[in-house]
A and B are shown apart, each in its own frame.
Chain A
Amino acid sequence: KAGVTQTPRYLIKTRGQQVTLSCSPISGHRSVSWYQQTPGQGLQFLFEYFSETQRNKGNFPGRFSGRQFSNSRSEMNVSTLELGDSALYLCASSLVQGATEAFFGQGTRLTVV
């Protein structure tokens, strides 16, 4: 069974640009969560989607958005990139909302220059 797949693995963008990251959950999993990991702030929850609806949101500005498709695949978008958005973005999938085990992908390393 394939794990959580995140694409691309690495990305370099310029300040002011926007970026879209993709996450394919484990087959059959319907809940997808996104996290940002930086050396200074650690792992921070961004948002969670279930059945194409955002169910939870972390404390991030509106520049960070996401969506989930009917096949449970999810994308997150960051607009007007800032240097501080450089981070490892991790996606996690769960079988259902409220499941007690989340499976993480290897992440997308975003560098903003």
Chain B
Amino acid sequence: DAKTTQPNSMESNEEEPVHLPCNHSTISGTDYIHWYRQLPSQGPEYVIHGLTSNVNNRMASLAIAEDRKSSTLILHRATLRDAAVYYCILSSAYNTDKLIFGTGTRLQVFP
């Protein structure tokens, strides 16, 4: 399974944009890039996913590098509720039900 590398922690102030990076240099052509987050005392929550093109949804945007070896999750305006551990995960298009979580990035948001 291809691995991802994320910073252990990041900080942001409320109302500011946050860019959470993820490196996945061994990604294969059929791997989807997923982002999940886990708020304190809760199960993980789906944020966004993509394959090759940049993606936007109501929660966030996903920017994927042209060579697909890295991606960035963008929270456009951080809120206190966005404080969580963010996981960048790769899964094969043929095996999306098997999510291999890394250590994730713990995001702190300050008022």
Contact = CB atoms under 8 A, between A and B. Distances in A.
Contacts, number: 64
A64 interface: no
B102 interface: yes
Main secondary structure of the interface of B (DSSP, over half): loop
A44 B100 CA distance: 7
Contact of B103 (A42, A48, A90, A98): A42
Interface residues of A, number: 27
Interface in A83-113: 90, 92, 94, 97-107
A42 B42 CA distance: 14
Contacts of A100: 32, 34, 49, 96
B97 A98 contact: yes
A102 to B, nearest CB: 6
A8 B95 CA distance: 29
Given A103-B46, A107-B43, A98 B96 contact: yes
Interface in B31-82: 32, 34, 36, 41-46, 49
Contacts of A33: 97-99
Interface SS of A by simple majority: strand
A46 B79 CA distance: 33
A48 B49 CA distance: 20
Interface of B: 32, 34, 36, 41-46, 49, 87, 93-104
18 contacts: A33-B99, A42-B101, A42-B104, A43-B87, A44-B101, A45-B98, A45-B100, A90-B44, A97-B97, A98-B93, A98-B96, A100-B34, A101-B46, A102-B36, A102-B97, A104-B42, A105-B43, A106-B42
